[in-house]
Structure formats: C-alpha cells, structure tokens
Amino acid sequence: MIGSDDAGILIARQTWTPPDWKGQDKDKPKPIEATLTTEGSRPLSFGVTVVPKDLDVLRSFTPSLEGLVDFGFFSFFAKPIFLGLRYIYEHGIHSYGWAIIILTVLINLAMFPLKVKGIRSAQRMQKIAPLIKDLQDRYKQYKFNDPRKQRMNQEMMDLYKKHGVNPVGGCLPMALQIPFLYAFYRVLTISIELRHAPWILWIKDLSAPDPYYVLPILMVITMFALQKITPMATTDPGQQRMMLMMPLFMGAIFFNLSAGLNLYYLTANIVGFAQQYFINIKMPVTTLAAAGPQRDKGEKDKGEGK
C-alpha cells in the first residue's frame, strides 16, 4: 500500500503475516521491504525483519543474526547449557523442568572429580583444626600489629605445608557453582523456549518466580543439610557461623528469582548431599590432637631470665 503523510513523504507499506516457525512453515523468513523518499531527493531503502529470537531462525540469515541472543559474560557456559536443555527437551522429555533436573545431575557428575579435590582439602583443614586452634590460642594475647603475630602466621603456613593443606581449596565446590548459576539465570531470562514453560502442578512458568515459594524453601533446607555434613575449610568460629547463615541469605535472594533457577540449585544441593555423604563414608575425617598450650619463645626466654 502506498500513501503519504502531511510532510509529503511517500511511504511504501506491505502487509505481513508471521509464519508458523514451530509448525510446518520452514521457509526462510521474507523481510518487509519499504522505501521512504520525498520529491526531489534520493530515496532511502532499507529492510525490516520481524522474527522471534530463536537461534535456528536467526542463524538462517546471511550474515547471521545469532548474536542478537545475548547470553552475557559467561556465554561460553550459558549457550552450551541452553543447547543441552533444548536437546534433552526435544529427544523424548518434552519438559524443560525435567530437562533442567537431568542436565544439573549430569553437570554435577562431570564436576565430581573437582569437587572431591576441594572436599579433600576441606577435610585436611578440618583434620588439623585442633592444631590451628592451639596455635591461635598461644598468640591470642598479642595485638594484630604485634610482630609476633607474623610469627604465628608463618607457623600456620608451615603447618599447612606440612599436612598438604590449601587454605582456599575448600572453597572450590562453592566457586564452581557461580558460572553455572549465572548461566542458568541468563538462559531462563532470555530464551523464548523457556518463557511460560510449565513443569508440574503449580509451576506454570519456569522463567517466573515460584508462586507458593515451595522451591526456594526446599532449596534453603537442602543447603542447610548439605552444609551440616560438609567439612568447613575455615577454623574461625565467626566465619563458621557466617557460613551457616549463608542459606538464609541465598533464600532471601532466590525467593524473587525464577522457579527454574531454584529448581537447578535445589537439584544441585540434593546431588551434592548424596556425593558428600558418599565421600564422608569412604574418606572419614580423623582429627589430630593438639600438643597442648605452649609459651611463645619470647615469653620462654623472658621467664628463664628471671
């Protein structure tokens, strides 16, 4: 249809009916073409394409428009996760909720060797916890800026080295969750396939929050249970209390996040609990007895001089 507005601009309009992308219409989409011009001026020609943000559809263009689906900073995690979910969905499951559960189990099984390494480091830390506490008690009367505190730190590092302990190694299981957590968040946020995707019973949209907060509550409970059977890498009581409060902080955040993300974390907690229970049985922790309170060398010299 050709028309003009009050400014005398000629407008070419074309009626467009969107194809059935998920049905039988598999032809390459035909863009709407329009030409805008005024009398005596050079015409400006351009094309307008209206398509869903479906990777297969966007990939069919030349040049490819696949980059319009932005998976974010961790796209090298998020895109394979999306493709994995879609593959599981299309090959017999036909439920993105169960696809999330299956993919989460597979991811945790694949990362199990790395988890074992981190958990063993935490177990070694727990094993020497009495020695660390004894060392801290011997130097607790000194202020933070006292040179003898540096001696305590050196003795602590020697103790770590002697028993093969990496002080931050126990944080590995938690650190491994971060990129996958963000990747699932991006997939559930931008993928049209998961928009309004139902699961079971009251979960009608995996990309929206759980309307009855069942999944986030179960996520917090399972996170508490997992922490109770997991050896802590830190021996500081204050840090241990903070770690035990972590599930409450996570729950406060996840209450407003998508049901699919809660389902992922809940499944990861359940699989992690089973893995940790297995490790605790096969590799039980035996703590080392402390040597008892000892005086600092400077205090000893001072006492012998009297």
Q: Is the pLDDT of residue 288 over 90?
A: no
Tracing tokens 């406060």 back to the chain, one arrives at: 252
pLDDT tens across 173-192, in order? Answer: 667 778 888 888 888 888 88
The larger pLDDT score, comparing residue 172 to residue 267, is at 267
Per-residue pLDDT, 238: 63
The Cα–Cα gap between 234 and 267 comes to: 26
Under 8 Å between Cβ of 130 and 287:
yes
Looking at every residue in the chain, the average pLDDT score rounds to 76
pTM of the model: 0.69
Six token digits for residue 31:
């863009």
Q: Which residue has the higher pLDDT, 141 or 33?
A: 141
Mean pLDDT of 9-28: 52
Between these two residues, 2 and 149, which has the higher pLDDT value? 149
Segment 67-84 shows an average pLDDT of 82
Indicate the pLDDT class of residue 107, thresholds 50, 70 and 90: very high
For residue 206, the model assigns a pLDDT of 93
> Which letter does DSSP use for residue 258 in this model?
B
**Segment 295-306 mean pLDDT:** 44
> DSSP for 115-177?
HHHHHHHHHHHHHTHHHHHHHHHHTTTS-TT-HHHHHHHHHHHHHHHHHT--TTGGGHHHHHH
Of 87-96, 123-132, 203-212, least confident by mean pLDDT is 123-132
Position 240 confidence tier, pLDDT thresholds 50, 70, 90: low
CB atoms within 10 A of CB 181: 16
Q: Which among 28-32, 97-101, 160-164, 292-296 has the top mean pLDDT?
A: 97-101
For the stretch 145-174, pLDDT in tens is: 777 777 888 888 888 888 777 766 656 666
Q: What is the pLDDT of residue 12?
A: 46
Asked if pLDDT for residue 258 goes beyond 60, the answer is yes
Mean pLDDT of 39-49: 64
Q: What is the pLDDT of residue 130?
A: 79
Q: What whole-number distance in Å separates Cα of residue 90 and Cα of residue 99?
A: 10
pLDDT at 270: 94
How confident is the model over 199-223, as a mean pLDDT?
Answer: 92
| pLDDT, greater one: 194 or 61 | 194
Model confidence pLDDT, tens digit, residues 123-138 = 777 777 778 878 878 8
Name the band, by pLDDT with cuts 50, 70 and 90, for residue 301: very low
Please check whether residue 166 is in contact with residue 160, taking contact to mean a CB–CB distance below 8 angstroms. Answer: yes
Q: How far apart are CA 279 and CA 276, in angstroms?
A: 5
Domain residue ranges of the chain, discontinuous segments joined by + = 2-68, 76-128+165-282
The H or E element that residue 37 is part of is strand 32-37
Say what percent of the chain tops pLDDT 90: 20
pLDDT bucket at 10, cuts 50 / 70 / 90: very low
No. of helices (H) and no. of strands (E), the chain? 11, 4
Query: What's the mean pLDDT in 257-278?
Result: 92
